[in-house]
């Protein structure tokens, strides 16, 4: 695919709608535009809420029907072996691994993001206690984090005797010290779309002798993460946003290879036992990613996710990132052209190095504005008290979608 950013077009003097059409035509010919056919989307709808719930991959309904009717209905319990149900958490983890720059055997799929975050934070605290002199009693937590992450961090801290220290991501290097056990950070801020410096912050955390725990919910599937390259210790993420796994699809837990033997999960279920069917009273943890399992996997959601991941066949995350930046650049240009001055304020950073795959705009009456956008066929979402969020999923969002969304927003204010 072309290395030239899609926003660099010689058609800059033409109307924005014509430019959008030309960009989409080019992207369909030699970019990601052709992948839209891999999804089922209502005709005429501009869907810019993939950062909350990804669109339905076209192959998923048939796969789920087969799982229900044949694997469950006919094979019944035999499907744990014959249909590969038992190995699904690790198998699907290996499907996600290349999308986040992880090696095989590092990711297990199952449970929710919150449950996996609890495992990761308690596991990080126990790793820190086992590998240091015991003087590390602080858990630094992203002060702008998604609320549930904060709740989970507070509970994990109570369990492990740590003290939660809220800190802005940019201030983490200065806040690190000999008392820091672990640091929880979001790769992309869910409100503003700001992309935080995972490589630099991870390096600083490692240099301070602490462990990094990253929440990838708003970055995995939208931009490169490169967990192994940057030495991340632990990470979690959901699969229903940019990975399009469906509502409530299972989340995942990443544990770096160097930590797997010492990872002590606070939820040691029978599924993570070294010999789960022996049913012994004593717990012996399994090797590798299986150590992150707990109870019986949610097979229907798990296999729907596996089918959803087929849309990534032949897709480069680098190409996804290029299109994401081109789309968000173009949307911001259209907003500036269509929306009367002073009506909205862009809170997403302009710099590509600091931008995820969403654009957030601050405005008065944001809830009412979003309801009107949705009524006019443009679906984004609202975050209290005054933020409009627009998520750009490059596998199915095009430049005409971006232009129409901005033009519709301008009409509302017009």
Residues labelled catalytic: 146, 215, 240-241, 389
Q: Is 273 annotated as ligand-binding?
A: no
Q: Is 363 annotated as ligand-binding?
A: no
Cα–Cα distance measured from residue 166 to residue 172, given in angstroms and rounded to the nearest whole number: 10
Query: Which one, of 252, 332, 237, 319, lies nearest residue 292 by Cα?
Result: 252
The residue assigned the tokens 């993570």 is 272
Q: Is 386 annotated as ligand-binding?
A: no
Cα–Cα distance measured from residue 88 to residue 90, given in angstroms and rounded to the nearest whole number: 6
Q: How many residues does the chain have?
A: 414
The residue assigned the tokens 């504005």 is 369
C-beta separation of 196 from 187 below 8 A: yes
Q: Is 147 annotated as ligand-binding?
A: yes
The residue assigned the tokens 């969020």 is 389
Q: Quick one: which H or E segment has residue 322?
A: helix 317-338
Q: Is 240 annotated as ligand-binding?
A: yes
Cα–Cα distance measured from residue 108 to residue 96, given in angstroms and rounded to the nearest whole number: 9
Beta strands (DSSP E) in 187-246 are: 211-215, 234-237
Query: Which one, of 176, 199, 175, lies nearest residue 187 by Cα?
Result: 199
Q: Is 280 annotated as ligand-binding?
A: no
Cα–Cα distance measured from residue 120 to residue 153, given in angstroms and rounded to the nearest whole number: 10
Helical spans, DSSP H, in 132-180? 147-160, 172-175
Q: Is 215 annotated as ligand-binding?
A: yes
Q: Is 348 annotated as ligand-binding?
A: no
C-beta separation of 49 from 380 below 8 A: yes
Cα–Cα distance measured from residue 116 to residue 237, given in angstroms and rounded to the nearest whole number: 8
Cα–Cα distance measured from residue 143 to residue 289, given in angstroms and rounded to the nearest whole number: 30
Angle value at C-alpha 155, between 386 and 298, nearest 5 degrees: 85
**Radius of gyration over every alpha carbon of the chain, rounded to an integer in angstroms:** 22
DSSP 54-74: PPEETTHHHHHHHIIIIIITT
Strand-strand pairing, 234-237 and 211-215: parallel
Q: Is 148 annotated as ligand-binding?
A: yes
Q: Is 270 annotated as ligand-binding?
A: yes
Q: Is 81 annotated as ligand-binding?
A: no
Q: Which residues are annotated as a binding site for pyridoxal 5'-phosphate?
A: 113-114, 146-149, 215, 218, 240, 270, 296
Q: Which residues are annotated as a binding site?
A: 113-114, 146-149, 215, 218, 240, 270, 296
């Amino acid at each position: 695919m072309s290395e030239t950013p899609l926003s660099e077009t010689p058609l800059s003097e033409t109307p924005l709608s014509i430019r959008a059409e030309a960009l989409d035509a080019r992207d369909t010919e030699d970019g990601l535009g052709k992948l839209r056919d891999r999804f089922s989307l209502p005709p005429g709808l501009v869907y810019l809420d993939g950062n909350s719930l990804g669109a339905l991959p076209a192959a998923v309904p048939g796969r789920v029907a087969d799982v229900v009717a044949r694997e469950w209905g006919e094979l019944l319990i035999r499907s744990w072996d014959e249909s590969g149900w038992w190995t699904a958490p690790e198998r699907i983890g290996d499907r996600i691994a290349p999308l986040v720059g992880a090696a095989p055997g590092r990711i297990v799929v199952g449970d929710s993001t919150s449950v996996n975050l609890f495992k990761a934070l308690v596991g990080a605290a126990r790793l820190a206690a086992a590998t240091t002199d015991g003087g590390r009693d602080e858990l630094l937590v992203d002060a702008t984090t998604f609320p549930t992450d904060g709740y989970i961090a507070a509970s994990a801290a109570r369990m492990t005797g740590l003290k939660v220290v809220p800190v802005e991501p940019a201030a983490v290097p200065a806040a690190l010290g000999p008392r820091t056990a672990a640091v929880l950070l979001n790769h992309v801020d869910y409100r503003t779309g700001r992309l935080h410096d995972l490589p630099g912050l991870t390096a600083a955390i490692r240099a301070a002798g602490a462990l990094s725990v990253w929440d990838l919910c708003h970055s995995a599937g939208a931009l490169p993460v490169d967990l192994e390259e940057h030495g991340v210790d632990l990470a979690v993420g959901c699969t229903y946003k940019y990975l399009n796994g469906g509502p409530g699809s299972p989340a995942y837990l990443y544990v770096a290879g160097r930590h797997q033997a010492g990872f002590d999960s606070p939820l040691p279920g029978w599924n993570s036992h070294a010999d789960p069917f022996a049913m012994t009273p004593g717990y012996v943890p399994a090797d590798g990613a299986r150590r992150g399992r707990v109870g019986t996997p949610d097979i229907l959601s798990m296999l729907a996710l596996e089918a959803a991941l087929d849309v990534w066949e032949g897709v480069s995350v680098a190409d996804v990132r290029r299109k994401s930046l081109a789309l968000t650049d173009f949307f911001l240009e259209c907003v500036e052209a269509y929306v009367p001055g002073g009506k909205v304020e862009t809170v997403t950073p302009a710099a590509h190095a600091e931008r995820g795959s969403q654009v957030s705009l601050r405005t008065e009456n944001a809830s009412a504005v979003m309801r009107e956008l949705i009524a006019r066929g443009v679906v984004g979402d609202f975050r209290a008290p005054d933020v409009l969020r627009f998520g750009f999923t490059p596998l199915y969002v095009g430049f005409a979608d971006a232009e129409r969304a901005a033009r519709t927003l301008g009409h509302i204010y017009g």
